[in-house]
Every structure is written in C-alpha cells, then in structure tokens.
Amino acid sequence: MRLDRIGVDESVAAVFPPGRLVDRLGDATDESGVDVTAVDGSPEGMADCDAVVTLEHHEAYLDLSWVHSIQAGVDRFPRDRLREAGVALTNSTGIHGDAVGETVAGFVLALARRIHEYAASQTANEWNRPDWDEAWTVAGERACVIGLGGLGRGIVGRLTGLGLDVDGVRRDPLPEPGVDRVYPTGDLREAVGDARFVVLAVPLTDATRGLVGRDELAAMDDDAYLINVARGGVVDQSALVAALRDDEIAGAALDVFETEPLPADSPLWDFEDVIVSPHCAAYTRDYYRHVATVLEESVRRVGDGEDPVNRVV
Ligand code: NAD
C-alpha cells in the first residue's frame, strides 16, 4: 500500500476536534514522510489522499487504499463494497476498555446507589430521599458481560474491582481472567439468569442483531438491569420497552439505540430506572491521542510492507 497522505475527515468532530489528530499524527509521522491533512469527504478534498481517518463513510472513500474508523464498531461502513473495491478497513478496537469500563461502573453504581434519582431531583430543587429499601450495594452481586473483547475486558476489570462476581458470554467459551464462568453464545439465556447486571459489549453483526429479545429479557431476574454499551441493534428495543413496562426487569442503562439520536417521543426517556446517555460511553479527552497511537503503529507497519493494525476488511 502506498501511503503519502492521510486525510482526517471532519466527521470525527463528533468525538474530538479534527485538528488535534491532524497535529498529533502529523508530528508522529513527520519522519516517515507521510502528510496528514483535514478533509471533508468530498471527492475533490480526497483527491490527493491514500487513506482517511473517519467516523462516517463517504462514497469517495471507495477510491482510497485504506479507511480507518475512529470507532471500534464498523457497522457504519459498507464492508462488502470496500472489499470489492480493494480498500482496507481498520477499526479502533482496543482503545475503549478504560473509558467504557468506567462508564459501565458509573451506571452500576448510579443504579444501586440511586444517584440518577438525586440528579433528577436536583433539577427540580427537590430534597427527595429514597425509601429505606431502595438503595443497595453492589459488592457480591453478579454481572454477566456479553462479549469479552477490548470493551468486555475493561468492563470486567472495573466490575470485579467493585466487588461484583462476573460471568461472561462469547462465541468461543475459553476461560478469561476475572470471569467465573464463560458461556457460549448459545447458552445466553442460562448465562443471564442469575445476573443483577447484564452488560452488552458485542459488535453489531448479522449474528448479534436482536441477540437480546423477549426470551432473553424474560430469562433475566425481575430485579436485574440491562446495560447496553454495544449497539442499539443488539437489543430488540420494543421487547425492551415491554419488559420495562411490565416490570420483567428492574431497569436499564442505555448508551446506544436503534435510532440515534433517540427520538424525543421514545418511551425510554421516561422510565424512572432507565439511564439514557447519548452514545458517549467511550468519550474521553484523550480519545484523539489513543487513535493517534493506533495509527502511528499502522503507518509504521504499512511502511514495512505489512497490513495496518485492526484490519477488518
Ligand atoms: P472486540 O472486537 O475487541 O470484541 C468484541 C467481542 O465480542 C469479541 O470477544 C468477540 O468474540 C465477541 N463476539 C462477537 N460476536 C459475538 C457473538 N455472536 N456472541 C458472543 N460474543 C461475540 O471489540 P470491542 O472493542 O470490545 O468493541 C465491541 C463493540 O462495542 C464494538 O463493535 C462497538 O459496536 C461497541 N462499542 C461501543 C462504544 C460506545 O461508545 N458505546 C465504544 C466502543 C465500542
């Protein structure tokens, strides 16, 4: 792969200022002779680029050698068309375990310690204490983490640190440090059965679309919470709304949704024990630095005639 110029697409502005990555990566790749520049996805802007770093897909990227997603998920990209066009697609898997792990720990603590309720009361200047039996502590509770990749491992580390016992689910049920029992995906309903928190950390693929539906929600305890930091499509959202409405589960913390932004008339906004966050579980002011580190290594590898890291197409 020839690599003279890398574009940083303006769509990354949803996560960090593009100029930060242009400067950081430009400094790091200076010696290798690779130029880094801001682009806007237009064919004219891309004309001199061999590669792009982006949040979103644009048609002009089918003419490049390499597209790098600043997210771990690549469900925004037309993988088959990129493959046919001979374009390499890489992702940022591996950089989100700390940030998302801490966000999930925050959700777990908020739901048990009722912090989301105090924050809601504060907006109305109201001094509302919980009932005597509403608040509880998480040590000794069980979580089930579905997907034990970069995200899942970060979540396991934070939850075991809080004293939770953790089970896991993945396609290949190999043992995982910190995880008591690893179930294969086919045993998902059994795996979630005794968990107080079920945490989703799988990519959205044909195999995981609708992975958690009516039957999986019914298999959860009625005092259990669903935490989704994966992708909205992994959960059947209408089945989730029904399970919350019928008190089949206690609540949820949701960072991702079938439609984003979550429409204003979604019933998910209004459940007392549902925390809604705007797909920002991985946000950190260091995000661009972490992406730059992955890209530096890729540029080095491409210079050595190898594949860039985290190649998915
Ligand atoms: P990863 O590739 O490191 O790990 C994914 C894990 O899921 C792997 O262990 C894989 O074996 C497992 N998996 C895949 N299909 C499965 C199935 N059918 N059943 C069980 N396990 C399965 O990726 P990651 O960095 O851990 O990220 C995972 C996903 O989380 C991403 O694809 C992305 O969609 C999402 N994500 C969301 C945010 C956010 O801000 N909310 C941030 C980062 C990643």
**Rounded mean pLDDT of 6-30?**
96
Higher pLDDT, 30 or 144: 144
- Delineate the domains of the chain, giving CATH numbers in brackets: 5-95+284-303 (3.40.50.720), 97-276 (3.40.50.720)
Answer whether residue 220 shows pLDDT above 90.
Answer: yes
Give the chain's mean pLDDT.
Answer: 97
What's the CA gap between 201 and 282, in Å, rounded?
12
Ligand 1 near 145 CB (within 6 A)? no
Q: Are 258 and 279 in contact (CB under 8 A)?
A: no
User: Is 0.95 exceeded by the ipTM?
Assistant: yes
**Rounded mean pLDDT of 200-211?**
97
Give, as one character, the DSSP assignment of residue 15.
T
Kindly give, in sequence order, each residue whose CB lies less than 8 Å from that of residue 24, ignoring residues fewer than 6 positions away: 288, 289, 292
Q: Are 51 and 66 in contact (CB under 8 A)?
A: yes
Residue 197, phi then psi, degrees to nearest 5: -130, 125
Catalytic residue among 260, 285, 300, 311: 260
Residue 160's pLDDT is 98
Question: Of the candidates 301, 311, 292, 312, which has an alpha carbon nearest to the alpha carbon of residue 25?
Answer: 292
The rounded Å distance from CA 205 to ligand 1 centre is: 10
Residue 285 bears catalytic tag:
no
Ligand 1 near 22 CB (within 6 A)? no
